[in-house]
């Protein structure tokens, strides 16, 4: 048993020594082993690269062969004559004919559409042209109407100017006639006054002054005699105290605005003996009821006339102012 144990122990020791020998190799041997392993790895890597290059070359050759095969088949198919069956030829002819008919119909339809568009465009242009012609005709007619209207207005203005000139000529003629009559009457009165003064030496001076107060006027048909106006005598009569009457009846003397016969005319203070234009003593300026303002009644050719806020007594046959009351109206 001891021997057995000894043998077992020696065996175990040898094994342990061997294992120690194996576990602790020599450094030089380890380095050589490393170089061998690296060489083997390098050879393996080069082999793998070589195999990969070979595989790539084979794949490239295979692709080239496939491409060449396709090109060959394509060229052969192009060189090979097409065997057209008669039935297929008839079918293809019918298809081509049908296609041609369809294309012809399409072209005809397109032509009809183009013609329709052209006709529609032509109709639209014709309507536009007719509208423009109608507008042009309307403008021309409007221009003619305006020209006729302007011509009528100008003709009316010419006629109005001519009528105004004729009226002015008639008024001037009447005024000249009145002035001529007044001059003739003045000359006749002067001759009569001279005759009266000559005869006054026989009959007396007082009778001559009484005769000088008489005057005459012609109304277009016959002569009328009248007493000359005495602008002092009526003022001494208390019945005609218009100032006191105006003080207690102010509203009666407010007649409103005075409108002169001419727009350009301005007020001028007049006095006795002034010759007044006929427009200023027209009938619209007459005071038809003198007693309403406590003025004396008039006779013969005399008329009370409003002149702005003044009152004038005018001989309407010669335009002479024979009496004046300034600031009569308010």
Q: Which residue has the higher pLDDT, 221 or 140?
A: 140
Find the mean pLDDT for residues 280-291: 92
Q: Which CATH number is 231-325's, of 1.10.3720.10, 3.10.450.160, 3.30.460.80, 3.40.50.261?
A: 3.10.450.160
Find the mean pLDDT for residues 307-319: 92
Report pLDDT for 17.
52
CB atoms within 10 A of CB 280: 19
Per-residue pLDDT of 203-252, as tens digits, reads 444 444 444 445 555 555 555 556 677 878 888 888 999 999 999 999 99
Report pLDDT for 307.
95
In the chain, where does DSSP find H-type helix?
2-23, 27-79, 86-203, 205-212, 242-248
Q: Which residues contact 295 (CB under 8 A, 6 or more apart)?
A: 240, 242, 287, 304, 311
Q: Is the pLDDT of residue 316 over 60?
A: yes
Report pLDDT for 185.
67
CB atoms within 10 A of CB 215: 17
Q: Is the pLDDT of residue 172 over 80?
A: yes
Residue 189: which pLDDT band, with cuts at 50, 70 and 90?
low
Residue 327: which pLDDT band, with cuts at 50, 70 and 90?
very high
Q: Which residues contact 274 (CB under 8 A, 6 or more apart)?
A: 320, 321
DSSP-assigned letters across all residues of 2-45: HHHHHHHHHHHHHHHHHHHHHHS--HHHHHHHHHHHHHHHHHHH
Find the mean pLDDT for residues 22-41: 64
Q: Is the pLDDT of residue 279 over 50?
A: yes
Find the mean pLDDT for residues 172-176: 84
Q: Which residue has the higher pLDDT, 193 or 238?
A: 238
Residue 194: which pLDDT band, with cuts at 50, 70 and 90?
low
Find the mean pLDDT for residues 104-116: 87
Q: Is the pLDDT of residue 48 over 80?
A: no
Average pLDDT over the chain, rounded to whole? 77
d(CA 212, CA 200): 11
Report pLDDT for 15.
59
Report pLDDT for 71.
73
Query: Taking the C-alpha atoms of 296, 300, 304 and 307 in order, what is their torsion angle to the nearest 10 degrees?
Result: -150
Q: Which residue has the higher pLDDT, 145 or 11?
A: 145
Report pLDDT for 193.
58
């Amino acid at each position: 048993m001891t021997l057995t144990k000894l043998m077992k122990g020696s065996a175990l020791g040898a094994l342990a020594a061997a294992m120690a020998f194996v576990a602790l190799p020599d450094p030089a041997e380890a380095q050589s082993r490393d170089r061998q392993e690296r060489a083997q790895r390098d050879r393996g890597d080069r082999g793998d690269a070589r195999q990969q290059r070979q595989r790539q070359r084979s794949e490239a050759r295979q692709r080239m062969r496939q491409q060449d095969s396709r090109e060959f088949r394509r060229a052969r198919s192009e060189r090979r004559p097409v065997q057209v069956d008669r039935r297929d030829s008839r079918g293809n002819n019918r298809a081509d004919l049908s296609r041609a008919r369809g294309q012809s119909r399409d072209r005809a339809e397109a032509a009809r559409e183009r013609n329709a568009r052209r006709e529609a465009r032509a109709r639209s242009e014709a309507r536009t042209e007719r509208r423009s012609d109608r507008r042009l005709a309307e403008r021309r007619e409007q221009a003619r109407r305006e020209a006729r209207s302007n011509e009528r207005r100008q003709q009316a203005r010419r006629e109005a100017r001519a009528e105004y000139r004729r009226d002015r000529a008639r008024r001037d003629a009447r005024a000249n006639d009145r002035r001529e009559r007044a001059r003739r009457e003045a000359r006749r009165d002067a001759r009569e006054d001279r005759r009266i003064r000559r005869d006054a030496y026989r009959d007396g001076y007082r009778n001559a002054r009484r005769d000088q107060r008489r005057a005459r006027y012609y109304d277009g048909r016959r002569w009328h005699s009248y007493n000359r106006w005495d602008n002092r005598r009526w003022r001494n009569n208390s019945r005609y105290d218009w100032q006191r009457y105006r003080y207690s009846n102010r509203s009666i003397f407010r007649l409103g605005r005075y409108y002169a016969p001419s727009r350009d005319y301005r007020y001028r203070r007049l006095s006795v003996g002034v010759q007044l234009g006929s427009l200023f003593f027209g009938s619209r300026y007459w005071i038809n009821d003198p007693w309403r303002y406590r003025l004396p009644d008039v006779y013969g050719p005399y008329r009370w006339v409003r002149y702005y806020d003044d009152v004038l007594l005018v001989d309407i046959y010669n335009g002479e102012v024979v009496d004046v009351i300034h600031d009569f109206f308010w």
